[in-house]
Amino acid sequence: MKLNELFTLSSSPERLGISSSAVLQFIETIQGEQICMHGFLLLRHGQIAAEGYWAPYSETSMHRMYSVSKSFVSLAIGLLIDEGKITSSDRVVTFFNDKSPQPIDPYLAKATVRDLLMMASPHIKTAYTRYDPDWAAAFFNSKPSHIPGTLFAYDTSATVILSTIVERISGIPFLSYMRERLLDPIGFSKDARCIKTPEGTSWGGSGVICSLRDMAKLAYVCMNKGRWNDHQLISESYIREATSKQIDNSLTGNHGYGYQIWMEKNNGFSFRGMGSQLAYCFPDIDLIFACIADTQGSPHAEVNIVHAFREKIVSATQESPLPNDNATNTILNETIKTLKILPQQGNHTSSFERKVNGKWYSLNENPMGIKRLRFSFLGDEGIWEYENASGEHQLRFGIGKTIQGPFPQKNYFGEKIGTPSGKSYDCLSSAAWVEDHKLNMLVYITDIYLGSIKMTFSFKDNEVTVYMAKAAEWFLDEYEGVATGH
């Protein structure tokens, strides 16, 4: 395959053995289940069968990949092994004499690079919390629970150790180390980056920010045994191990784990990140499905995405090209052009709108610390004003549509965990009347951190009841609980 043929958009999915109808049904399932999808990409034989983005996201959007970052770290470790600068049997403590206690616990002393790659560290859970000032040190100073290499236990601090090893050996951020060797040859975004840990290293366990295509390209390299076109960018032997079952994790309902990479049925493997950042690879049929989304707080959404992909697309994929279906392909392309993140569903008007418009409600003491609030409505838009511990705030929202804008809080982390940015996160806000007296609001955070708040404001006589539920890691804590007021 020529260089310019990789990751080019096919004239139709049918040319690659996938029907336009199957892709359209997949999209309709996502829309019908109100899943907050941001983008998807189908790759067959190295070409894009279909690709779509839900506005405001686009092909060039830089997106938080969460734990997909772990798979990237695995590839960085593989590059170090290829260069002979490290081996999988090296004991990780030897790279951290400055952060490990003396004497060190025997279980921690035994832990190897391979143990951490296959999520078999001596910790039963992640060793650090958001309040720890040094996450690598937390790994070595937390009491282990078992012998390393024996149990699968999802431990993000293990990946922090691996990415820090890459940076200690190379002297540069792990993405920079990968840049010349792997990322530049595949056209990985120049502005990709990684959020930092409190101690200042790359948060390889969760912090990579790149495009959907970037993720899919690295997945393709793995499915293509480390090659891009005719260039072997990372050794086939490492990729074979990384994408093969190294440890059992069936007790967690999974099919095995490689080196920071999940095993799937039908000889497949995947990159997985919180909120449905996914890249599913099936070498036997030369098919990759990748997507970005925010399904936090919707426990069944990721299951539904994968089920829809398997049922609508995988099951219908053929080895040979299919007959042209120009009519359905036209509908598919038009559907993709109009994709957008859906607003809060419900009625656009209510008899209560006039009753509550512009009126302040004083709230009793509540977990959110909100003292008072009011709504102002103007056509298909509104403003929610409120006062909490950090001051007076306003949030514009759409009715029957989403509105982009800044979320009022400015105390959340920025490019480094533990360090507030002093800036507002970008968000999408919408509201609708779900009963005549009840307004629901939906806020999606669409920044380098993803999350959402679902809110209900129920009005009765001169009183209001407020319910808020947030789905976000380490922020939006001020927006969870129940309040009443008048």
Instruction: Provide the CATH number for the domain around residue 280.
Output: 3.40.710.10
In a domain, 210, yes or no: yes
Contact 108, 91 (CB under 8 A): no
295 & 403 share domain: no
In a domain, 283, yes or no: yes
Tokens of 444: 């999606």
Assess whether pLDDT exceeds 60 at residue 240.
Answer: yes
183 & 52 share domain: yes
Tokens of 44: 């067959």
43 & 110 share domain: yes
Last residue of a domain, one of 285, 307, 337: 337
Average pLDDT for 128-147: 98
- CA within 13 Å, CB half, 300: 4
Assess whether pLDDT exceeds 70 at residue 1.
Answer: no
Last residue of a domain, one of 310, 337, 364: 337
Instruction: Provide the CATH number for the domain around residue 465.
Output: 2.40.128.20
Tens digits of per-residue pLDDT, 47-78? 999 999 999 999 999 999 999 999 999 999 99
421 & 317 share domain: no
Tens digits of per-residue pLDDT, 190-223? 999 999 999 999 999 999 999 999 999 999 999 9
Residue 237: per-residue pLDDT: 98
443 & 331 share domain: no
118 & 225 share domain: yes
Distances (CA, A) of 195 to 92, 101, 216: 23, 27, 20
- Calculate the average pLDDT of the chain: 97
pTM over 0.85: yes
Per DSSP, helices labelled H in 142-200 are: 156-170, 174-178
Burial class (CB in 10 A: 0-12, 13-18, 19+), 97: exposed
Q: How far apart are CA 210 and CA 214, in angstroms?
A: 6
Contact 130, 418 (CB under 8 A): yes
The domain containing residue 180 runs over which residues? 3-337
Q: Is 310 helix (H, G, I), strand (E, B) or coil?
A: helix
Residue 5: per-residue pLDDT: 79
Residue 13: per-residue pLDDT: 98
Q: How far apart are CA 93 and CA 238, in angstroms?
A: 22
Contacts of 320 (CB under 8 A, 6+ apart): 17
Which run of H or E residues covers position 28? helix 20-32
Assess whether pLDDT exceeds 90 at residue 421.
Answer: yes
Which residue is it, tokens 């009765």? 460
Choose among 358, 352, 375, 347: nearest CA to 433: 347
301 & 258 share domain: yes
Phi, psi of 449 (to 5 degrees): -115, 140
333 & 419 share domain: no
In a domain, 223, yes or no: yes
In a domain, 258, yes or no: yes
190 & 264 share domain: yes
Neighbours of 266 (CB within 10 A): 11
Strand order in the sheet with 193-194: 63-64, 208-210, 193-194
Contact 113, 162 (CB under 8 A): yes
Choose among 62, 64, 63, 67: nearest CA to 205: 67
Tens digits of per-residue pLDDT, 250-307? 999 999 999 999 999 999 999 999 999 999 999 999 999 999 999 999 989 999 999 9
In a domain, 347, yes or no: no
Assess whether pLDDT exceeds 50 at residue 37.
Answer: yes
318 & 386 share domain: no
Last residue of a domain, one of 337, 372, 390: 337
321 & 369 share domain: no
Q: Is 75 helix (H, G, I), strand (E, B) or coil?
A: helix
Residues in the chain: 486
In a domain, 271, yes or no: yes
Residue 19: per-residue pLDDT: 97
Residue 4: per-residue pLDDT: 46
In a domain, 264, yes or no: yes
Q: How far apart are CA 78 and CA 82, in angstroms?
A: 6
Average pLDDT for 11-35: 97
Neighbours of 2 (CB within 10 A): 7
285 & 389 share domain: no
- Calculate ∠ Cα 169-174-176, nearest 5°: 110
Residue 248: per-residue pLDDT: 98
Average pLDDT for 418-425: 97
Contact 290, 41 (CB under 8 A): yes
Residue 31: per-residue pLDDT: 97
In a domain, 93, yes or no: yes
Assess whether pLDDT exceeds 50 at residue 2.
Answer: no
Residue 198: per-residue pLDDT: 98
Cα dihedral: 59, 61, 65, 66 (round 10): -150
Question: What secondary structure does DSSP assign to 131-154, as a single string?
Answer: T-S-HHHHHHHSPP-S-TTS----
Contact 122, 157 (CB under 8 A): no
Tens digits of per-residue pLDDT, 315-345? 999 999 999 999 999 999 999 999 999 999 9
Split into its structural domains, the chain has a count of 2
Position 3 confidence tier, pLDDT thresholds 50, 70, 90? very low
Which run of H or E residues covers position 388? strand 381-388
What share of the chain has pLDDT > 90, as a percent? 99
